[in-house]
Amino acid sequence: MKRRLKTAADLDARRIRDNLARVREEVAAACSRAGRGASEVEILVATKYVSADGLAVLADAGIVLIGENRAQDLVAKHRLYGPRFTWDFIGHLQSNKVRRVLPLMRLIHSLDSLSVTAEINRHARTRTNVLLEVNVGQEAGKCGIIPSEVDRFLEEAAKFPKVNFTGLMTMPPLAANPEVVRPAFAALRRLASDLSQKWHGKYSFERLSMGTSQDFAVAVEEGATIIRVGSVLYE
């Protein structure tokens, strides 16, 4: 069933602010359990299901970092709100949309195509920070590079000097119990560590974008530096 967009009428800034405070508390607790500092984790608010007018409520609630899934939505919302937010792109990016998205966002979380890599290199004015999306669960039909192909992909992508890999992103298999996906998060962390050694001096793989409303605490325990939350703030 298709989810309905949250409009300004559906959202309450005070409730979102309170929910965000609870998420921050859970992040801090997860960081403490993992021996990390809470400042190591960014909370990105996913706005795929928030209408343009709903973003005004998020701004009133103190939200700063947001992530959009669709290029056309990023362009339309950025036109209205521009510097009120920091904008990341977290959805599947098509080659023909790269030129429109590049000037607007801080970070692309979902690079998994050499054609998109080439388009970024073609249109970027400066070196562009990206995350490599990894299909850790090797699920058929799912976006992302499977782990065994990551090295080969990076060797090819290294031909494009304006594309700067700064970390990894994953969407693990769906599971009701967050513990079920813990191994996927741990696998991404280990892969990032390996890549940091292999590509030292060329790329940094310090950023790990993983964990959503259902499993962000487990993701933080396993090394997430960016969590992508939505429904946990809006309900």
Q: How far apart are CA 102 and CA 105, in angstroms?
A: 6
pLDDT at residue 61 tops 80? yes
Q: Phi first, then psi: what are they for 89, rounded to 5°?
A: -105, 125
**What mean pLDDT comes out for the span 56-68?**
97
Q: How far apart are CA 27 and CA 3, in angstroms?
A: 27
C-alpha pair distances (Å), 98 with each of 111, 120, 161: 11, 6, 16
**What mean pLDDT comes out for the span 103-118?**
97
- Sequence ranges of the domains in the chain: 8-234
Residue 72: alpha-carbon gap to chain centroid: 18
The pTM of this model reads 0.96
pLDDT value of residue 2: 63
pLDDT value of residue 156: 98
Q: How far apart are CA 10 and CA 234, in angstroms?
A: 9
Domain 8-234 -> CATH class: alpha beta
Report which of 61, 23, 29, 63 is spatially closest to residue 46, judged by C-alpha positions: 63
